[in-house]
Structure 1
Amino acid sequence: MKQSFLTSTTSKFILAILLVFGLSFTTKADIIRLVVKEDRASCTGVAPQTCYQVKYKNSKDWELFYSNIEGFKYKAGYRYVLQVIRTKRANVPADASAYTYKLKKILKKQKMPQHAGVWSFVTKHKWKLIQMNGLTQENSPAYIVFDKVKGRISGNAGCNGFFGAYEKGNEMIRFKQLGSTLMACPDEGRNKLEHDFMQLLSGNTFKYDVADQTLNLYQGERLVLMFGITDQDK
């Protein structure tokens, strides 16, 4: 009887040890080196968004990075070399990365030369609203067009056309003197879209970047407006 009790106790102890070591193994952290590109790229997770472009130790090409890096304050226009603590999740939530990432150290931060043609590229296209304050805008009628010579903008906010001026600095853009036509908007959804869109633009300053086929506007580090490239004549 005593031997049976000892065997049972020993088995439970061994099982507990295995569980502890098993859990430790699944949540083991390692330190990796990441190169983060100076501009982000459009990508699609749960919704359209922008992702870091990174290179790992053995990467030949830039890869999309869908996760966040805790403690990392990214600024467009700079290329970073990072030491990152990567930890494997014990329980992976749906639509989430198998790892969490935390900044250990910035090894290098280098200002990259801006391409003179970036803003020329923006002004050559019509930009359709595809995301606002984190919400995807399905079949949105809202769009914006930039006049590089006059420093003016025009477009549609949902029901009404709008117009105004903009000032552009280094990676920053400010919208001012906005106005619109006064057509009645019986569609409740479009009316709300127009109100929120115009309120967000009017008198505000944004950081911007161009990632592949998207024009992205930020307040602080938060992406508030995303526009997708479309044809001028549509």
Structure 2
Amino acid sequence: MFGWESAGDRFKLNGRAVAGLTRSGANRPDGWLTHLSTPDLEETLEQVALSGGTCLSHPADAHGGRRAIVADPAGAVIGLWEPADFAGAQAGGEPGTMSWPELLTDDPSAAALFYGSAFGWLLRHDFGVGEWLNQAHDAIAGLASGYRGAWWRAAFQVEDIEATAELCERLGGALIAEPAEAGLSEFAELRDPFGARFTVAAPVHHPVELTVSLGSLGGLPAFE
């Protein structure tokens, strides 16, 4: 699908780690699990609990760091990662890499309160979609409302949505949701042959029209 190479518990793209692979368990459902990096796992878990979240698996050593799994008050599951010698994804912003983690929820107000309290995130709305910012005002995740339940959706960047959907079906997967535009990207939801759902995304390139008119100040052109 993405040109990845399998390297033990990681997937790599041109030698750079872009995703992980592990067994599912009682506290970790099948499918893709988004992780957030934290410098202090215990402190973050304490803040999650104080904000109304639940710890599903306590801190445990992993390849390159320590992890825990938590759920927000609506049940959306997310991982926490405290790096040791492995910070996380080593590539981004290109086809075959993680594109944009997004929380789907039917209660965006409650979600904004929880993630703001637990992680210090700020919520803003641009291009008709919700977007979370961290304390440095960098965009880090999206928020989409109008769904039944709550879950984190992993999206991977591709060059061509339609071609990727066709490839997925040829490889034994399925197209779950037809391509649709949201903000500045086009999304399609897919399912792999083992039942794990994921999203692929590609930037939408809208043509920009420039118009030139003559202004009244000395006949200089005015650009719009």
Q: Same fold (TM over 0.5)?
A: no
Give the TM-score taking structure 2 as reference length.
0.21
CA radius of gyration, larger in: 1
Which one has a larger percent helix, Structure 1 or Structure 2?
A: 1
